[in-house]
Chain A
Amino acid sequence: MSQTSMTSEPLLEARNVRKSFFKGGKQELLVLQDINFRLFEGEIVALLGKSGSGKSTLLRILAGLIQPSQGTVYYRGNPIYGPARGISMVFQTFALLPWLTVLQNVELGLEALGIDRDERRERALKAIDTIGLDGFETAYPKELSGGMRQRVGFARALVVNPDILLMDEPFSALDVLTADNLKSDLLDLWQTKKTGLHGILFVTHNIEEAVLLADRIIVFNSNPGCIRGELKITLPHPRSDLDPRFRNQIDRVYTLMTTPQTRMETPIGTLETHQPIDLGYRLPEANIAEITGLLETLNAPENQGKMDLPDVADILNLDIDELFPLTELLEILHFAKVSKGDITITDAGKAFAEADILERKKIFLEHLKKYVPLARYIYDQLTRHPRHRALEENFLSLLEDYLTEKEASRVLETVIEWGRYAELFAYDYNAGVLSLENPN
């Protein structure tokens, strides 16, 4: 249905949107760059990307919750500078008011619009009915399960008869079965046109979810966030993840995410031709037990050192937010190579996977010093210092030149964990001191 309407005026449009946040002083941190995006009549669109890629920020800009630093958002051709009536939203953690009953929660949006009591009640009851919450009108959110709570979130968003529904990772706080159930109910509502909705836009980091629901998937790049590319999904509904065509589409998404498009661009979860990273690189949040597990899986006889990324995600039950940091670290350390949706183990990676505990530490130490400049820098500083000690604040302020405050401390924590594992340096939590000495 989207093909026919492509030529018409977009429902929601972001033109040249750019967003940067100021951190202390005059430093500016670019979060979104040159975003041009359109949502058309009758479309479900997924914004897909890793956490921290700015996709949630874009959703909030489109919702009018955040002002873009540059560029404009248009809703049916009119620029908007705040939440527009006609755009509704469903939140990741539901954002229900715990002190209000289901009915009162659903009525909230109508109350704000000044609709009188009787009409409010009638419409709220109808929405509760539609979304399958009958019988729970007087329950408080804390009495409900996660899936039921998100249903309240949907009822609250739909009761105001919105034109466009925005959803911020609406299923990520739910277990798999509940999420599947809710997704199919949502699709039902959408296809039978029981709501007045004309378009849905949602943010996700789950590739299956995007392929299952969306007519179009927008893939996001991080640092700074920008649109990497888009894919049309033309499979008819209902889609099943057992269908080979469905697996095919998932493969396409992985390939788009891991194939370099231009020379300047770093694909998600990979490093092009093992290029070296710099000191302020945003090191992935990966722990050693996980990369060890992944290498062991790769090195298993049935895999022969090479796997399809969708299979890896499937077997290890990881979503892209969990998988890509691992593949990225493996690439940084030269333990594996990722390209075109495949991951291949290197000789060093093979050696690591086959070694015993102490041997692994040695290999890891060697690669950490060689390929992670931050770890090497910390080690050098400690060696130079007369008493082989340094305050963590020094490294933190160095990282803050490159990253946000939060990311900087996350990256430092990560590198400290790696350094401790490799016994490259020691760390005293209470004093916040890094040192070369062993604890006594």
Chain B
Amino acid sequence: MSFLRNTFMNVYQKKAYPNYWDMLALFMVLGIIMLLAWNAKQMAVPYQLGQAIPISLNPDHLPGYALRTVSRMFLALIFSLLFTFTFATWAAKSKRAERIIIPFIDILQSVPILGFLSITVVGFIALFPNSLLGPECAAIFAIFTSQAWNMALGFYQTVRSVPAELNEAATMFHLSAWQRFWRIDVPFSLPGLLWNTMASMTAGWFFVVASEAISVSNQQILLPGIGSYITVAIQSADMHAIGFAILTMFIVILIYDQLLFRPLVAWAEKFKSELVGQEGVEAHSWILDILNRTRFIRHVGYKIGYLLESGVNISFLRSKPLTAFHPSSYKAKQYAIWIWNILFIFAMICLVVFFFHFVIKNVSLDTIKHVFFLGMVTAFRVFILVILCSLIWIPIGVWVGLRPQAAYIVQPIAQFLAAFPANLLYPFVVIFIVTYHLNVNIWATPLMILGAQWYILFNVIAGASLIPKDLLQAADNLGLKTWLRWQKLIIPAIFPYFITGAITAAGGAWNASIVAEVVSWGNTKLVATGLGAYISEYTAKGDFINIGLSIGMMCVLVLLFNHFVWRPLYRYAQSRYTLD
């Protein structure tokens, strides 16, 4: 590597004209621009509800479908970022806003993501009649919901943890709110925000695939994309097509991982706020190296930097010299607070009244009981799955984590697998169940955690690799063997990491239950008993009262589990087993 670097540096110093890297980078940029243009043209096709969009199983169309899928993902990401920057910042800066925004996000987080799709799709179709834009928006909104809450909460927490002295320095040097946001809040939160964004996108691949084929009011809308391709392939029981789709998705995720995720994470290293040079490996990315060393890109980067700087220092958003203090403005503010409080309470009362009115009028107690029972069945599944996955992945994760070379190889693979949308693999399991006439209620269950299990693995790996060497050596020195070693050292040391992984895995399993409890292959349809199956069944029928009820039930159950199981466990792990 150092040899390459030297050769390269010489070239860089001698030649004034573009080098090879320039050409490569140029083609990459041009290619991306062309693809985006083509994609935008496709999106605004006229469409009527009930009209079938032909999805071709010809693998030649797959790159195009993949692009449509990817662009939905990125559109959603842009909206998530906008949401994060506005609402999370607002919550971090204003106590009153915080009191409303944060609990709302907390609750929205526990609403099943595909539930948003079921609820909003009709509204979006009505909003853009005669255009495919409606279902497109619904799909993008569903992906947005899989990203935004997580990102916003993370951003809010980091903005609040900006060191007091940095804030004081900003005040002392008269930075305006706008300058402060871009110079302090955003850079400070950037590493965290990036990780969160990447984690959200990882989960997003699952939902982007699931949300393309929407069944609503007994009609199926197929948005062109890999998800729809898979759906059609399943309906026509075409094994080859499924293979191609998986291959395509594999390539897409590989590109996303190498071209976006790793360069960004490596770049964000410079925003890490610890001033002391921390130990451990810095993230590296070959793409970032190319960009950093390309004359043309550096030049563009410089120009962009210049533009951004002008944006940050834009004159009408500059701080004004402090002139006088108006006591009257304080009073006006007090009135505003009062009016705000009254309006808020009024709105809450209206909502509560509406909710009870709605429930009493439309839902019988038996239905509620039934839905609750289904919810408990699904909860039981989630619980069993988390335990089973832990039993499998903890020993493997610890084995890998204690061996740096193994961890170096396995960690990126696990992250990659976590990004791979597991729903693409469902057909294989269905074929397996159908062939051997197995019990659906048991054998369809693992589908729920197929994608989420990796969180347990890579968190355990991370935890195990951070166990201090001297503790391990002390354990060896004291002759702690097998079980005693696990009991006294390894399990306590990885516990906080494991809990983080288990929480994420459980959340993923709840979300996946909507697509995992009803699976089909050709004309065979397998339905397991559970809340997820109930939701997808009524979504297909277009029965909005039952959809609302079942989604509400899932939301409440997830909230209950979070507050009474996971959070206490997490707090306990943090206070008791954190190594420092």
Q: Interface digits, B269-284 against A, CB 8 Å rule (1 contact, 0 not)? A: 0111111110000000
Known: A95-B163, A111-B313, A141-B275. Contact between A83 and B169, CB under 8 A?
Answer: no
Q: A114 vs B272: C-alpha distance in the bound complex, in angstroms?
A: 28
Of A82, A83, A97, A141, the residue contacting B183 (CB under 8 A) is A97
How would residues 162 to 185 of chain B score, 1 for a CB under 8 Å from any chain A CB and 0 otherwise? Answer: 010110110111111001000110
Are B176 and A149 interface neighbours, CB within 8 A?
Answer: no
Consensus secondary structure, chain A interface:
loop
Show 9 residue pairs from A and B whose CB-CB distance is below 8 angstroms, ordered by the A residue: A64-B322, A80-B322, A89-B168, A95-B165, A98-B272, A99-B187, A100-B183, A117-B309, A160-B173
CB within 8 Å of B: which A398-440 residues: 430
Report yes or no: A63 in contact with B172, Cβ–Cβ below 8 A: yes
Contact of B165 among A91, A99, A109 (CB under 8 A): A91
Quick check: B169 and A91 within 8 Å, CB to CB?
yes
A→B interface (CB under 8 Å): 60, 63-65, 80-85, 87-89, 91-100, 108-109, 111-114, 117, 140-142, 149, 156, 160, 430
Give the contacting residue for B175; candidates A88, A112, A117; CB below 8 A: A112
Q: In the complex the two chains form, is B176's CB within 8 Å of A112's CB?
A: yes
A112 contacts B163, CB within 8 Å?
no
Contact of B273 among A64, A98, A109, A149 (CB under 8 A): A98
CB-based contact A108/B313 at 8 Å: no
7 tightest Cβ-Cβ pairs between the two chains A and B: A109-B173, A95-B169, A81-B325, A95-B165, A99-B187, A112-B174, A82-B322
Contact (Cβ within 8 A) A89 B172: yes
* A108 with B173: CB separation less than 8 A: yes
Question: B325 and A85: CB pair below 8 A?
Answer: no
Contact A111 B179 (CB under 8 A): yes
Chain B residues, Cβ within 8 Å of A114: 313, 315, 318
Asked if A89 contacts B179 (CB within 8 A), the reply is: no
Map CB proximity to A onto B295-312 as digits: 1 under 8 Å, 0 otherwise: 000000000000001001
Cα separation A160 to B176 with both chains bound (whole Å): 16
Contact residues in B for A95 (Cβ distance below 8 Å): 163, 165-166, 168-169
Asked whether, in the complex, the Cβ of A108 is within 8 Å of the Cβ of B163, the reply is: no
Determine whether the beta carbon of B172 is less than 8 Å from that of A83.
yes
- Set of chain B residues within 8 Å of A64, measured between Cβ atoms: 322
Q: Is B479 an interface residue (CB 8 A)?
A: no
The answer to whether residues A65 and B172 also contact, given A95-B163, A97-B183, A108-B183 and a CB cut-off of 8 A, is yes
* Bound-state Cα–Cα, A171 to B257, Å: 45
Contacting pair B277 A142 (CB below 8 A): yes
Minimum Cβ distance to chain B for residue A31 (Å): 16
Q: Is the CB of B165 within 8 A of A93?
A: yes
Total contacts A-B at CB 8 Å = 86
Q: A111-B313, A112-B179, A142-B277 are in contact. Are A97 and B187 (CB under 8 A)?
A: yes
Residues of chain B with a CB closer than 8 A to A65's CB: 168, 171-172
How far is B271's CA from A117's CA once the two chains are assembled, in angstroms?
23
Please measure, in the bound complex, the distance between the C-alpha atom of A140 and the C-alpha atom of B274, giving whole angstroms: 12
* Bound form: Cα–Cα A65–B277 in Å: 31
- Taking CB as reference atom, which chain A residue is nearest B277? A142
A235 vs B273: C-alpha distance when bound (angstroms): 42
Q: Which residue from B169, B272, B273, B315 sits with its C-beta under 8 Å from A89?
A: B169
Report the Cα distance A85→B277, complex, angstroms.
35
| Chain A residues positioned under 8 Å from B176 (CB to CB) | 112
Residues of A within 8 A of B270 (CB): 98-99, 140
| Cβ contact within 8 Å between A112 and B275 | no
Taking A83-B171, A112-B173, A142-B277 as given, write out 20 further A-B residue pairs in contact, using a Cβ cutoff of 8 Å, ordered by the A residue number: A83-B174, A88-B172, A89-B172, A92-B165, A95-B168, A97-B183, A97-B187, A98-B271, A98-B274, A99-B190, A100-B183, A112-B175, A112-B319, A114-B315, A114-B318, A140-B270, A141-B275, A142-B274, A142-B275, A142-B276
Residue of chain A at shortest CB distance from B168: A65
Tell me which residues across on chain B come within 8 A of A83, comparing CB atoms.
Answer: 171-172, 174, 322
Report how far A99 CA is from B168 CA in the complex, Å.
17
Q: Which residues of chain A are near B324, meaning CB under 8 Å?
A: 81
Interface string of B305-337 (1 = CB under 8 A from A): 000010011010011011011000000000000
Chain A neighbourhood of B93, CB < 8 A: none
Closest partner residue, chain B, to A92 (CB atom): B165
| B61 close to A (CB within 8 Å) | no
Quick check: is B576 within 8 A (CB to CB) of the other chain? yes
In chain B, positions 215-251 with a C-beta closer than 8 Å to chain A are: none
Choice from A60, A99, A141, A160 contacting B271 with Cβ under 8 Å:
A99
Inter-chain contacts of A99 with B (CB < 8 A): 187, 190, 270-271
Question: Which of chain B's residues have a CB closer than 8 A to the CB of A89?
Answer: 168-169, 172
A97 touches B184 (CB 8 A): yes
Interchain CB contact under 8 A, A149 and B183: no
CB distance from B274 to the nearest CB of A (A): 8
CB neighbours (8 Å) of B273 from chain A are 98
Whole-angstrom distance from the CB of A302 to the nearest CB of chain B?
41
Across the interface, which residues of A come within 8 angstroms of B321, CB to CB?
Answer: 85
Complex CA distance for A88 and B173, rounded to whole angstroms? 7
Q: Are A113 and B322 in contact (CB under 8 A)?
A: no
* Chain A residue at smallest Cβ distance from B325: A81
CB contacts (< 8 Å) of A81 on chain B: these are 322, 324-325
Bound Cα distance A29, B372 (Å): 51
Most buried by A among B172, B273, B321, B325: B172
**A84 engages B173 (CB within 8 Å):** no
- B residues in contact with A140, CB < 8 Å: 270
Known contacts A85-B321, A99-B271, A109 near B166 by CB under 8 Å? no
